[in-house]
Amino acid sequence: MSVDIAGFEKRAEILKAMANTARLVIIDTLSGGDRAVSELTEIVNLDISTVSRHLLALRNAGIVTSKREGNRIIYSLCTPCVLNFMSCVEKVIAHKANSSLKTVNAGSA
C-alpha cells in the first residue's frame, strides 16, 4: 500500500496555518465579510505587524486573499470550506465534553 506523504504534508501545512487562536478569530471574522487589516487588528487585539504576519500565513496557505483599496489592504476568505472544518471541530469539542461528563457521572454513581 502506497501512502501519499507529500499530500499529507500539504494538508499539515494548511492545518498548521490555522493552528493559532488569532488566526481562527481572523477566519471567523472574515466568514462574515471582507475586512481591512486595521479592523482585524482591533478585533484580534494585537498590533498591526503581528496581525499582518498571521494574515501572511493564512494567505500563503491559500485560506485568505487580499486586495488593495487606496491605502487600505482588504482581506477576504477565499476558501469558505474551512468553516466546514470548524463545524467538525465544534462537534469534536462537544463529543469530548459529553464523554468527560459521562466519565464524571459514572465515577460518582
What's the rounded mean pLDDT across residues 72-100? 91
- In angstroms, the first-to-last Cα distance of the chain is 47
Is 22 within a domain? Answer: yes
CATH of the domain at 37: 1.10.10.10
- Quick one: pLDDT at residue 13? 94
Angstrom distance (rounded) from CA 84 to CA 94: 15
Share of the chain above pLDDT 70, in %: 93
Residue 106 placed within a domain: no
Torsion angle defined by CA atoms of residues 90, 94, 100 and 102, in that order, rounded to the nearest 10 degrees: -160
- Asked, for residue 52, whether it belongs to a domain, the answer is yes
Angle, helix 21-30 to helix 37-44, in steps of 10 degrees: 130
In a domain, 34, yes or no: yes
Q: What are phi and psi of 88, to 5 degrees?
A: -65, -40
Q: Which residue has the higher pLDDT, 63 or 100?
A: 63
* Tens digits of residue pLDDT in 34-84: 999 999 999 999 999 999 999 999 999 999 999 999 999 999 999 989 999
| Domain carrying residue 41 | 5-79
Question: Is residue 89 in some structural domain?
Answer: no
**Count: domains in the chain:** 1
